[in-house]
Structures are given as structure tokens and as C-alpha cells.
Chain A
């Protein structure tokens, strides 16, 4: 994934886009990558733990929040799915660049 991202960034940097447009693209890509994380985390969160915190907001502390995230990701399944989505996002970015900037 990192190689893919690096190639995309290199391509954008070498393009004729203005710096403002490049920044806009980078911001969108960053947003797209980060947007894949939370919905997947929600999917794999221990339901009882999440329900308990939802019903008892006072229990939401740094420790309980961190524990919830850790319990969600510790077996690696959620992060693997996140990685897969991120790669798909980058494929889509590539396709969009091919369409809009075919010669760059």
C-alpha cells in the first residue's frame, strides 16, 4: 500500500496541477483513507462493551475508549479489512487520475 501511495503522490507532484489543486487532492486522499477506519472499527467492536459505553456515557474515559479500540483490533481482522479498503481507495484514486490526467 505504501508503494501505491508513494507512486500516486509522485505522479501528482510531477503533474501540471497548481500547488493549491495538489493540496486539495492530497487532502481528499487523506480524508478518503481515514474515512475507511471508523466504519470498520464499528463493525468489529465488541457489542456488549460498546452498548455499555453508549448507555453509560460517564464510563467513557481514555482507558475505556482505548480498551474498546484495542479489543476491536487485537486479532488483526479489523485492521486487515481497513488495509484492504485503503488499497481500494488508492486504486480508485489511480483510476480517477488516469481519467482526468491521462497524460500526466
Chain B
């Protein structure tokens, strides 16, 4: 990943609660483990996905699901991994996706509840910015701190912490017939 300056790396607020410390640890671990991100030249692609494919989450999900299901079955995957991959592939493509209960494996049922809250109006903007931050090598943690209002889950502009984000429409996703194979 691109090198960050010491100032960029330093969080504005040190985690104080144990939940915050757990969350910070997870974020740091994820950042350190991720493969190197690709170059900024793909930003145009991400922007195109955002603008061209916005509002087509269901369509994309339906197109991707058979392939992911097939690969998952061949690999002996559990349902949860395939579903998270499907969700993330659609979501991080800049397309909004609401986690539907029938799409989520049992193990993620409770996580889904938090995920739905996090995917409330305006989450899409955060997802896209956080995703771009990941690709650019910026600490996602700083993006989260600056963009997500802890009370409302509504993202705010990076340079205007006093300005809430504009709510985005939520697109419900129909459950896949029969669900995904697996269940490891």
C-alpha cells in the first residue's frame, strides 16, 4: 500500500472503551493483511461503476450469484463466505445492497442486524469513499473516524464534519431461490 505520513496514521481519538479497542485492533489487522492495492489509474473504473451501476445491485447480484455459488460448491465453501463475497463484490463495486435475512448464513444473522444499520441511508457514500481509501492506501480507520457519525450511522463529508450526508435510497434484495450451497 502507499505509504502514509505519521500525521495521517495517527488517529484523532485514541480508543478508550474495550469495544473501541477491539474494533481498532480488527481494522489494523485487516489493513496489514490486505494484498497491495492497485494503482490510482483504476479510479476511473471505480467511478464508472459508481455512476453507471448505481441502483442495479439486484441485477448484479443475480448475475454473480450462479458463478459464486458454483465456485463455492466446487471449493466446498460454507454459505457465509460465499454470501459475504457476493455482498462485498456488489457493494464494493459501488453498488448499494441491503443485506436481506435470507441471503445471510445463520452465523451472520446477528451481524446482519448491525450490517443493515450500517447500510442505512448514506452508507453507500461511505462505502465508496472507504473503498477508494483502501485502494489508495489511506488508512480506512481515519476514513471511518471522519465520515461516520457514531450516533446516526450517516456519513459526513470528509472536510465538513458538521454536514451530514444526504440519505441514499435503499434497494431491497430478493432472496436467492434455494439459497447458496455449502454450509461448512
Contact = CB atoms under 8 A, between A and B. Distances in A.
Interface in A11-63: 12-13, 17, 21-43, 50, 53-55, 57-58, 60-63
A101 to B, nearest CB: 7
Interface residues of A, number: 66
Given A33-B84, A37-B84, A60-B45, A100 B22 contact: yes
B108 A5 contact: yes
B72 A30 contact: no
B107 A100 contact: no
Taking residues whose C-beta sits less than 8 angstroms from the other chain, chain B's interface range is 35 or more
Contacts of A25: 19, 22-23, 114
Contacts, number: 208
B91 A34 contact: yes
Contact of A50 (B33, B42, B109): B42
Contact of A2 (B23, B51, B91, B183): B183
A17 B110 CA distance: 15
A88 B98 CA distance: 25
A9 B60 contact: no
Contact of B22 (A35, A66, A69, A96): A96
Contacts of A2: 78-81, 105-107, 183-184
B115 A65 contact: no
Contacts of B108: 5, 9, 30
B68 A92 contact: no
What are the 10 tightest A-B residue pairs by CB atom distance, in nearest-first order?
A: A57-B48, A37-B88, A26-B114, A66-B63, A100-B18, A27-B114, A60-B48, A38-B92, A5-B107, A6-B107
Given A2-B80, A35-B140, 9 more contacts: A28-B22, A33-B88, A37-B84, A39-B35, A39-B36, A40-B35, A54-B42, A57-B44, A57-B51
